[in-house]
Structure 1
Amino acid sequence: MLQFHIPNMTCSSCAKPLENALLSVDPLAQIETDVPARLVRIETALEEATFLATLAEAGYPHHPQLGR
């Protein structure tokens, strides 16, 4: 499972386009968004780099969480 911290995902209106962008890369992915924690979790067989690029292109770049 992949997990990404998305600081600018601040509401459910942000989460839906983010999910759609991720599903465009892997329609079979299982995606869970946690808006209060600003996390997205993806169950997929694809590489992390694929999703990092998609998140950045969609305007939701991942930022590592320090201390975790």
Structure 2
Amino acid sequence: MQATAYTYDSETRSGSVLLDDGTPVPFDAAAFDAGGLRLLRAGQRVRIERAGDDADGPVTLVTLQTF
């Protein structure tokens, strides 16, 4: 699923993304670390994965969207 980075705290390695419909979705350090990123800037296009088959589950991965 694609989203846009909205907030990011480098000390806690957590933040939030905005889905394309504008819904904010938080992510924790584990999801950030799973993507192998070092930092994230607001406005960057990202790809996220959510737990299980539930589209409302917690974010398990945040990584940069590549074309």
Task: Indicate whether the TM-score tops 0.5.
Answer: no
TM-score by length of 1: 0.29
The structure whose residues are more often helix, as a share, is 1
The structure whose residues are more often strand, as a share, is 2
Higher RCO (Cα < 8 Å, 6 or more apart): 1
